[in-house]
Every structure is written in structure tokens, then in C-alpha cells.
Structure 1
């Protein structure tokens, strides 16, 4: 009888240990999933806020700012619900962001024209801008795929980003072509201008009324003429070289007998 009770107690103890172990593993798995999801939301917040901090580098509409704000808002709400030591900070930032969103919704919408856009002065700034526009386009598409962006707004903003990327690409190629021409690297310079013209003509066929495209086509053609003119001026004088060779031939040719 006592032996049976001992076996029962041992069995109950084993079940209790197993149960505690299962619960502990479940808690650890839940905590690991919580931390992973929190890290994902933090990455979304950091990426979006980084893009927001760079919106002063290019003409940016109210619609795209609202899309970015709402993306941060959703990530902050998820992060606050996941708890942790920073939950209070996330809620505070969420309240501040809601106030900013309300202010944008209640104020006049801004839709600045991109014709006045100017390329940054340094290569580093240009590279940073290229990266920001690439991230912005990816965010815009991701939010649209989730059904969080109106199709009309999506089409307008994607076209705006595409146009900015085109301007940066063309301006950068023409700038590098000028530098190469100044260094008398005429082959590379002509190649870059020709590539820029090819890109411009392809876009002009789709958007013939874009004043930027027409202006850049004229600018690229003028630059190409300047490069070819400079290349001709720097070329060796072929006729003079030929005359020198003729003089040498006359000097060493067999003498005629009279």
C-alpha cells in the first residue's frame, strides 16, 4: 500500500515537473516571438523615420508624408502593445504623432512641383538621396499592396518618385560627362552624354510635354557638340604630319642620275 502511494506520488511529481517545463518553454517561446516582433516594429519605425528626416531634400507632397506618418503610427501601436520597458515611450510618441497627423489632415495639402528640383552639391548627398528615394518607393509599394494607399495617390506619388530618380540619373550623367570632358577624356564623356540622350528620348516618347525632358535634351545635345568640338581641336594635325613624312621620304629616296 505504501509502495503504491510512493509510486503515485512519484508519478504526480513527474507530471508536475513536465507540466512546469512545458509552461516554461511556452513562456520562453512567447518571449522570443515578442522580442522578434518588437525588433521588427522598431526596424520599421527607424527606416520610416529615416526617410521622413530626408524629405527636405526633394519636393514632397502632403500625401506621402501622411503615408509615412501612418506607417510609423501603426508600428508604434504594435510596439506599445508588445510591452517591455519602452512601452510608455512608444505611447507618448504615438500621441505626438496623432497630433501631427491631425494637423496635416486639417491643414491645406501641399503638392510642390518637381520642376524646381535641383541636384545636391556633393556626390555623398546625391548617393544619400538615391538611397532615400529607393526606400521611399519600396515603402509606397508595400503600403499600397496592403490596401492602405488610395490607388490614385499611389499612381501620383510613384510617378513623382520615378521622375525625381530620372532627373537625378540624367543630371548625374551630364555632370560626370562635363568632368570627363574637362579632363580631356572625350571618349568616356561622349559615351555618358549619348547614354543620357538615349534615356531622355525614351522618356520623351512617353511624356512629350514634360518641360524638363525637352530642356535636358537640348542641354545634352549642346554638351555633345562642345565635346566633339574640343576633341577635334585637341587632335593631332594630320596634314602637317603627312608633310613631314613626305620630306623624310624625299631625303632618303634614291638620287636620280642625269
Structure 2
């Protein structure tokens, strides 16, 4: 009888240990999921705030700024619910400030600055930052649209604006590479870059026919093409002059010199 109770007690202890392990593993799994999701929301906040900090380089509308603000707002709300008590204080403060910014922006008259006034920075580092910002902005816009958070009309308008800005940057980049290729006497590559730039300009013209950027860049591209053609012509070796048969005959029958 005593042996039976010992077996029962051992079985109960084993079940208790197993139960404790299961509960502990469940807590660890939940904690791991919380940390993963918290880190994901932190990444969303950091990425979006980085894009927001660089929007001064491009003509952004009120609509796209609101898309970015609301993305941060949603991520902050989730992060607040997943954060520790100490972190919650900071996130709640940031969320309050952001809510005030959103309310203030919504109260203003919507702004849609023309992209015709956009000018590419002179600094290469700034240009790289601009290219990366537009790429991230487009990805964020599409992600938010897929979640149903962006009106289809707003999405189409803003994506078109981003595409147009990217085309402008491509034009300047191709013309710059064409100049570099011309300097290196790679005239074939230079002409190819100018041709691509002109094709891109035709694409932009279809979207914004009254854009002064097009005429200015077309003139610049044509002038550069003339420079390339002229440089290529000058670099070609001149054809040898045909020999005059009469000169050869005179050389043959001229008096020989005595040494």
C-alpha cells in the first residue's frame, strides 16, 4: 500500500513538473512574440520618422504627410501596449504629441506643392539620400494602401508624383553620366545615355505637358549631344592624303646627291 502511494506521489510530482515546464515555455513563447512584435513596431516608427525627416527635400503634399503620421501613430499605439511601464510613459507622450500634429494638419487647408519647382541637390550625398527616401516613401504608400488606410484616389495621385520625381532624378543622373563618359572619350556610351534621357523626358511630358523642366532639360540634352558629336569627330584620325604620282616620278628622276 505504501509503495502504491509512493508511485502516486511520484506521478503527481512528475505531472506537476511537466505542467510547470509547459506554463514556463508558454510564458517564454509569449514573451518572445511580444519582443518580436515590439521590435517590428519600433522599426516601423524609426523608418517612417526617417522618411519624415527628409521630406523637406521634396515637394510633399498634406495627404502624404498624413499617411506617414498615421503610420507612426498606429505603430506607437501597438508599441505602447507591448512596452514595459517605463517605456509606456515615453510612448504615450510621443503619441500625444503626434495626435496634436495630426489634428493641426487636418485643420489646415490641404497643400499640394507643384513638382515643377523641384530642384535636384548639388551634393552627391544629398542626392543619394533623396533617392533612398523616395524609394522608401513609395514602399510605405503601397503598404498602407494595401491595408486599406489610403484612399485610392490619393494613392494614385501620390504614387504618380513620386514616379515623376524619380524620373527627374534619372534624367539628371543620365546626363551627368553622359558628361563623364564624354570626358573619358567613351562617346558611344555618352550618346546612349543622352538618348535615354531624352526618352525619359518624353515620358515626363506625357504626365506634365506644361512642365518647364522638360524644355530646359531637352535643350540641355541636345546641347550635350552636339558636344559629344563634335568631340567624337575631332577624335577620329584624319584620312591619309593620296599620293601624287607626278611627285613620285619627280623623286625618281631627280639628280642623285653625291655624298
The answer, yes or no, to whether TM exceeds 0.5 is yes
After TM superposition, the score normalised by the length of structure 2 is 0.88
Mapped contact 1:204–1:214 kept (Cα < 8 A) = no
Tell me the equivalent position of 1:246. 243
Task: Describe the superposition over 1:90-112 as per-residue Cα deviations: whole angstroms up to 9, x where unpaired.
Answer: 11111111111111011222211
1:221 to partner: Cα distance = 2.0
Separation in structure 1 between the aligned mates of residue 204 and residue 103 of structure 2, nearest angstrom: 38
Distance 1:66-1:233 versus aligned 2 partners, 3 A rule: same
Root-mean-square deviation (Å): 2.5
Distance in 1 between residues matched to 2:252 and 2:36, nearest whole Å: 96
Superposed CA offset, 1:6-28 (max 9, x none): 22222221111111111000000
Name the structure 1 match of 2:2. 2
SS of 2:243's equivalent in the other structure is: helix
Using the alignment, how far apart are the partners of 2:152 and 2:29 within structure 1? Answer: 40
| 1:121-136 → structure 2 map (5 Å cutoff) | 121-136=122-137
| TM-score, length basis structure 1 | 0.88
In structure 2, the residue matched to 1:102 is 103
Quick one: distance in 1 between partners of 2:249 and 2:29? 96
Question: 1-side partners of 2:130 and 2:113: how far apart?
Answer: 18
How many residue pairs get aligned? The number is: 253
Q: Secondary structure at the match of 1:180?
A: helix
**Number of the residue aligned with 1:189:** 190
1:129-148 pair list within 5 angstroms: 129-148=130-149
The within-5 A match list for 1:38-53 is 38-53=38-53
Q: CA deviation at 1:128?
A: 1.6
What residue is the counterpart of 2:257 in the other structure? none
Distance 1:143 1:198 in 2: 32
Secondary structure at the counterpart of residue 77 of structure 2: helix
Q: Which runs of 5+ in 1 are unaligned?
A: none
Matches within 5 A, 1:41-190: 41-84=41-84, 85-190=86-191
Which deviations, in whole Å up to 9, do the C-alpha atoms of 1:202-256 show, x marking residues without a partner?
4445654544334433332232123212332444443xxx22x626995599947
Aligned partners of 1:141, 1:123: CA distance in 2, in Å? 27
Moved more, 18-27 or 188-197: 188-197
Within-5 A mapping of 1:174-253: 174-205=175-206, 208-238=209-239, 242-243=240-241, 246=243, 251=248
CA shift for structure 1 position 134? 0.6
- Within 1, Cα distance between the matches of 2:190 and 2:225? 8
Distance 1:72 1:206, change over 3 A: closer
The 3 A distance-change label for structure 1 pair 199 and 252 is farther
Secondary structure of 2:51's partner? helix
1:31-63 CA-to-partner distances (Å, cap 9, x unmatched) read 011111111111111111111111011111111
Alpha-carbon distance in structure 2 between the residues aligned to 1:131 and 1:201: 24
Once the two structures are TM-superposed, the CA of residue 189 in structure 1 deviates from its matched residue by 1.9
